[in-house]
Amino acid sequence: MKLLTARPNPIRIGIPALALLAVIATFVGTAGAERGPEHGRVVPESPRLDVPKVLDGVVNANVVFANMVVVGGEFTQVKRPDGSIVDRANLIAYDIDSGELVESFDPVVDGEVLGLAVATDGSGLFLGGRFTHIDGVERQRMAKLDLAGEVVAEFEVVVEAKVHEIAEDGKRVYIGGSFVEVDGQPRSHLAALDITTGELDSFRADVTGGIGFDGASSVRALDVHPDGTRLLVATSNTHVGGLPRTGVAQIDLTTDKVSDWRTDWYAVARLRCADGEALTIRDAEYSPDGSFFVVVEKGHYECDKAIAFPTANWPGLEENLWVTSMFDSSLAVGVSDEAVYVGGHFCYAKGLGPIRTDQAADYVYEDKPAPCDPFNNVDMDGAKARYQLAALDPQTGEVLDWNPTTNVQIGVYDIEVIDRGLLLGLDRDQVNFQTTGRHAFIETDLYDPEPGYYLLGESGGVFTFGSAVDRGSVPLADGVTAVAIDTTRTGDGYLVVADDWSVHPFGNAPTDAPPADVGAPGDTPVDVKIDPLNRGYWIFSDAGRVVAVGGVPHLGDVSDLNL
């Protein structure tokens, strides 16, 4: 037996084809902080394809609850990994390992879910939004569910308007939104509840002075510091707890007082925003070590920024660590040890370094270097083409070489950094040219690739070595010879091409067939290569011809060349 092709290929991809960065922590941190998720690398660009797909609407929030990924938003249907479709309204859960929909977790939520959080002790899942009932039980815009998806009866609170964001510290659960009353008591956009009963806490730091679009006033982002001593509040307002804190404030949870930390950046910079100097802060998050946080906003290219600030309270007003121009709306941020992930409605990003507050009024910002042309923009004028998802260097804000792209319409609404990667909330259905539905899970393999490879016999036999998985051999007609094999990027499938131009897919390999008239006299295939994005494949002939099959581009070939 003659072995024609030997192509080594790892079965599992543990290291993405990206520049892996070793980030040195130079920011001032907090001693004893409990660090957040650490990946040790930038996540891959491709999402998992074995999880449920939300088919309509929008996903606003994602969280890990025990061994489940919980997805919340405004939607009505979900496609299981086996392809079957089921009705599910606004909240689903799936097994984080298998990707299978958790059928028993099926609460009926009668309105949009905007925020999710999990109790530190694992006792429940908090959800906030626009809903008023869950499984027919009245729950006015805030509720707690158990592991079975059942309403926790003892946790009950009435919030008079929508809850955008939830955070908790093991003792209390903090809510932010557009409300001004909780349980009939005045609480302007920010409140704290007992983590077990939902009873309104005495904590009070009213958020006032709305400067959003048409004077809108709301808290869109909350985050508890890794050491549990601070609460980050990001808002389209001028005051927190009666003190001037335009855009962002930190609350000292050991005293329940607004901390002395203050920046006037947004008080100055918002005067250049669109819609009558409206400030629209959309998200904010601490770094895993708690030494800095990043705020993202929207409001014309002069205000569409991701900005990092130090957590520590230095003498005087705080200045930013760096500013990155996104040129269009930035709606979500997630911070890991290796990258600041930003999502939104942009197509370019450019690091500007630190900009002092006294420069904010006159700094010359550039507009994006070219109109957005989905998937066709290129780097120019120092700006990096990044379609609605970008990764930034945590130290400098410079744009990293990570560019999965999405096909979202309004934008990426949520980025959640978890131990195993990123969870994304979208309003369309593709990440990295692969169909994900409105939710995507980009997983970081925290282990080394497992080695394995395949050998292909000319009769179509496929032989596996190491961790390679045997998915079958090729049934060839008499006189037909197998000539080449290639595996998918994930190692979960392979493709065999024969000298009669027939193609044989296994596992998750592309199933597109070459055109019927692909063959030419004296022109025989010699190799095949699967697209890394699994959109199709290329067949290479001994005459130098390249045949593109499926959704891959034809990048040229060389005729009259004997390979």
Task: Please give the distance of CA 536 from its chain centroid, rounded to a whole number.
Answer: 25
Q: What is the rounded distance in angstroms from the CA atom of residue 363 to the CA atom of residue 327?
A: 15
Burial of 315 (0-12, 13-18, 19+ CB in 10 A): exposed
Check residue 200 and report its DSSP letter: B
Given phi > 0 = left and psi -120 to 50 = alpha, else beta, which region is 135?
left
For the chain, the residue count is 563
Q: How far is CA 403 from CA 392, 424, 470, in A?
A: 11, 15, 33
Residue 276's pLDDT is 60
User: Which residues lie closer than 8 Å to 223 by C-beta, 6 or more apart?
Assistant: 167, 231, 232, 284, 285, 286, 293
pLDDT in tens, the chain (563 residues): 334 433 333 332 232 322 222 222 333 333 333 556 788 889 999 899 889 999 999 999 999 999 999 999 999 999 998 889 999 999 999 999 889 999 999 999 999 999 999 999 888 999 999 999 999 999 999 999 999 999 999 999 999 999 999 999 999 999 999 999 999 999 999 999 999 999 999 999 999 999 887 778 899 999 999 999 999 999 999 999 999 999 999 999 999 999 999 999 999 988 888 666 677 899 999 999 999 999 999 877 888 999 999 999 888 899 999 999 999 999 999 999 999 999 999 999 999 999 999 998 888 888 888 998 877 889 998 999 999 999 999 999 999 999 999 999 999 999 999 999 999 999 999 998 889 999 999 998 744 446 788 899 999 999 988 888 889 999 998 899 999 999 987 677 899 999 999 999 998 889 899 998 888 777 899 999 998 767 789 999 988 889 999 988 888 887 655 55
Q: What is the mean pLDDT of the chain?
A: 88
Q: How far is CA 238 from CA 208, 210, 218, 306, 384, in A?
A: 6, 7, 11, 19, 33
CB 114 within 8 Å of CB 127: no
Residue 36's pLDDT is 65
Residue 226's pLDDT is 95
DSSP string of 515-549?
A: PTT--BTTB-EEEEEE-TTSSEEEEEETTS-EEEE
- Amino acid at site 297: E
Residue 142's pLDDT is 98
Could you give phi then psi for residue 113, rounded to 5 degrees? -100, 125
Q: What is the rounded distance in angstroms from the CA atom of residue 453 to the CA atom of residue 465?
A: 5
CB 10 within 8 Å of CB 449: yes
CB 392 within 8 Å of CB 399: yes
- Alpha helix positions (H), 232-296: 265-269, 274-277
Q: What is the rounded distance in angstroms from the CA atom of residue 236 to the CA atom of residue 283?
A: 11
Place of tokens 């990044």: 386
**Which pTM does this prediction carry?**
0.76
